[in-house]
Amino acid sequence: MIVTVLVPDEYGVSALGAVDGVRAVRYDSLDDLPPEAAEAEVLVPGFLSPGQADVLDALPKLRLVQLLTAGAEAWIGRLPDHVMLSTCSGAHGGSTAEWAVTALLAVFRRIREFEDDRRAESWDSRRTETLQAKRVLVVGAGDLGRQLHRRLVAFDAEVTMVATKARDGVRGLDELPALLPEHDVVVLMVPMTPATRGLVDADFLARMPDRAVLVNAARGPVVDTDALVAELRSGRLRAALDVTDPEPLPPGHPLWSAPNLLLTPHVAGNCTGVQQRAYRIVAEQIARFAAGREPEFLVRGDY
């Protein structure tokens, strides 16, 4: 029996071509699916594509939505019970961790200020901070958090991991209020769920020590934007954001001009090799499905 899989690009067609029992068919958009959609059992949405429940009418045999991303919030709650949802866990952790380390190094070593000096032809050899011995609180202990932990330790930072529930080597989310004042950096690497939406509010930020750095590599709505802007404008906190709320930022938004902020446009995982890494995971998950087994990274409930 052949399983028909709809993929959004030619790379997906090629990547799934070697998977036994699978026929990969490309589509141009979810609004214009090919005739093979009538037989498709698996849909692979494009990177960061919004969840479209109305597409289900054109996919009567759909049994699995396999994502190219680790985040699944766009599709959670939009699928009927008989359709499974699987993430691309393991594909983007290394790249996202690399971005977080890059952001912290840029902030602590004042790379942007030195670049401004270069443009102004100003030789100002001032002292900077270092990532060494910084106390870093990583909120999220999945693949992204684990990848970041490994890299931070290599820079001699002191790392504390936090997850929903405490376990060996990981603190519980309920311990955050006590942990925040003890750390120089907080890095967010949590999935977007009802429990994490607005997690970083004014009270959360107020508990961070003066000149601490908030790094958001999760999703924009995890942070209360207005509360963060207030802290940045006061000069008390610093931040590095790869995601924002709203996203993309509209013209004139306060984050464009906020001081003490390093901002990138959701590019932590968008780097060379991203398709290869993502489709390697996707091919493994779809191979399991075609063989009659459940994918490893199924979303159950909110995650």
Residues 6+ away with beta carbon under 8 Å from 30: 45, 49, 52, 55
Q: What is the pLDDT of residues 226-285, one digit of tens each?
A: 999 999 999 999 999 999 999 999 999 999 999 999 999 999 999 999 999 999 999 999
Residue 87 near residue 67 (C-beta atoms within 8 A)? yes
- Residue of 92, 219, 238, 277 with catalytic role: 219
Tokens of 82: 């008989």
Distance CA 9, CA 24 (A): 10
What is residue 48's predicted lDDT score, i.e. its pLDDT?
78
What is residue 53's predicted lDDT score, i.e. its pLDDT?
74
The domain ranges of the chain are: 3-91+272-290, 93-263
Spans in the chain with pLDDT lower than 70: none
Q: Do the domains 93-263 and 3-91+272-290 match in fold?
A: yes
What is residue 253's predicted lDDT score, i.e. its pLDDT?
98
Residues 6+ away with beta carbon under 8 Å from 178: none
What is residue 49's predicted lDDT score, i.e. its pLDDT?
81
pTM of the model: 0.93
Active site residue 175: no
CATH class of 93-263: alpha beta
Taking the C-alpha atoms of 294, 296, 297 and 298 in order, what is their torsion angle to the nearest 10 degrees? 20
| Per-residue DSSP letter, 38 | G
- Compute how many other C-beta atoms are within 10 angstroms of the C-beta atom of residue 49: 16
Residues 6+ away with beta carbon under 8 Å from 203: none
- Residue of 247, 280, 284, 288 with catalytic role: 247
Residues 6+ away with beta carbon under 8 Å from 35: none
Distance CA 56, CA 36 (A): 14
Strands (E) located in the chain: 3-7, 22-26, 40-43, 64-66, 84-86, 135-139, 158-163, 171-172, 185-188, 213-216, 238-241, 261-263
What is residue 145's predicted lDDT score, i.e. its pLDDT?
97
| Per-residue DSSP letter, 223 | B
Active site residue 294: no
- Residue of 23, 110, 236, 266 with catalytic role: 266
**Fold for domain 3-91+272-290?**
Rossmann fold (3.40.50)
What is residue 1's predicted lDDT score, i.e. its pLDDT?
82
What is residue 117's predicted lDDT score, i.e. its pLDDT?
97
What is residue 302's predicted lDDT score, i.e. its pLDDT?
73
Active site residue 280: no
What is residue 167's predicted lDDT score, i.e. its pLDDT?
96
What is residue 84's predicted lDDT score, i.e. its pLDDT?
97
